[in-house]
Amino acid sequence: MKKILFILLTLSSFAYSQDAAPVISKKGSFYFYWGWNRGLYSKSDIHFQGLNYDFTLHDVAAQDKVAKGFRTYVDPATITIPQYNFRIGYFINEKYDISIASDHMKYVMKSYQTVKMDGYINNSGFPEYDGSYDNTSFDINPKFLQFEHTDGLNYLNVELRRNDSLFTKDFFKLRLIEGVGAGILYPRSNTTLMGNARYDQFNVAGFGIGGVVALNLEFWNRFFLQTELKAGFIDMPSIRTTLYKADKASQNFWFLQSNVVLGMNFNYKNKAK
């Protein structure tokens, strides 16, 4: 009987100690991450305006631009050249965090594509391009236009995200994250248009909205690896194209972004169950 009583007391003591064990509270803590992305873009109509031209190129195709060489991604001197994501977040409570970020994407119009063109061009310096266009087939070549946001298509955004636990085992946790956000586009658009000097200055060009879903693999409550799929809409009515302020372009399109990021949690707090 004494042995049975001893065993029961030991088990109850063990159970109590397990219940009283500290756990990690996310509320009031911060996180940051850095990673890389690939992007897909829908076709878009690009409207160009200036003193002697006003035309639209329809259904223009574009792609992202991948940096070459592993060292480019890890060398501090070149780490901002690839397409990257940087985010800092704060947990409002156990489920929700709010964050600010820079999504550095790259958008490159494909050269030598054939599109439809509407509008007019007068006295461009290239007589072969002067004239009126009405749903006219037009071959885009670098002599006429080079158009890209490669330094970059900078989406500065704020997001609200929800965190749901899927699995916990010892030092490992798996979470599902969903979020929505909005922000401004601050691109450095590299443009060469009809013989004008190349223009590549930063400019607030428009806004974006989007949503994200992610899987977060956390280790020792501190470090994490996260994969994200992000989709959204970008509208840029004020893209600078030349040194002259009268010259501008506008476009809008959908984007799909896949991200892999590495991050760290800090200022976590222990709390009793």
Burial of 60 (0-12, 13-18, 19+ CB in 10 A): buried
**The pLDDT of residue 25:** 81
Confidence of residue 23 (pLDDT cuts 50, 70, 90): low
Mean predicted confidence (pLDDT) in 21-36:
84
Is residue 176's pLDDT more than 90? yes
Lowest mean pLDDT among 39-53, 97-111, 198-212, 255-269: 255-269
Reduced to 3 states, what is the DSSP secondary structure of residue 123?
coil
Q: Tell me how far apart the alpha carbons of residues 42 and 60 are, in angstroms, rounded to a whole number.
A: 9
**The pLDDT of residue 238:** 96
Q: Tell me how far apart the alpha carbons of residues 214 and 223 are, in angstroms, rounded to a whole number.
A: 16
- Name which of 168, 172, 236, 176 is nearest 203 in CA terms: 236
Q: What percent of the chain has pLDDT over 90?
A: 75
Q: What is the pLDDT of residues 233-246, one digit of tens each?
A: 999 999 999 999 89
**The pLDDT of residue 17:** 40
Q: Where are the domains of the chain?
A: 23-272
Q: Tell me how far apart the alpha carbons of residues 138 and 219 are, in angstroms, rounded to a whole number.
A: 54
Of the ranges 2-11, 25-34, 74-83, 98-107, which is most confident? 98-107
Q: What is the pLDDT of residues 110-131, one digit of tens each?
A: 989 999 999 999 987 888 999 9
